[in-house]
Amino acid sequence: MQMSTDVMEVENELRNVVQEQRQLAEQISALEQHLHDDEKWLRSNPLATVSSQEVLKELLALQAYVGELQAQAVALDDILLELTAEHELWDDPGLLLAS
C-alpha cells in the first residue's frame, strides 16, 4: 500500500511541476512581449523625456524579473528530472536493485 501511495505522490508532484512550468513559461512569454513593446517605444521616443525615463526604469526592472523567472524555470526543470527519475524507479523496481 505504501508503494502505491508513494507512486501517486510522485505522479501528483510531476503534474504540479509541469503545470507550474507551463504557467511560468506563459508569464515569461507575456513579459518578454511587454519588454519588446517597451524597447520599441523607447526607440521611437526621445530618451530625455520623463516618460522615456520611466519606461526605461520599467524595462530594466522587467528584465531583472524575467531573469529571476528564468532561474525558477531552470530549477523546475531540475525538479522535474528528479521526479521523473524517481517515477521510473517506482515503475521498474529492478533499476533500484541494480544500482
pLDDT at 56: 93
Alpha helices in the chain (DSSP H): 2-43, 50-91, 93-98
Residue spans of the chain under pLDDT 50: none
pLDDT at 95: 56
- For the entire predicted model, the pTM comes to 0.79
What is the count of structural domains for the chain?
A: 1
Q: What is the pLDDT of residues 46-58, one digit of tens each?
A: 888 899 999 999 9
pLDDT at 48: 86
The CATH number of residue 71's host domain is 1.10.287
Give 10: exposed, middle or buried? Use CB within 10 Å, 0-12, 13-18, 19+: buried
In whole angstroms, give the CA distance from residue 28 to residue 73.
Answer: 9
Residue-number span of the structural domain to which 92 is assigned: 2-98
pLDDT at 36: 96
- Region of residue 65 (left: phi > 0; alpha: psi -120 to 50; beta: else): alpha
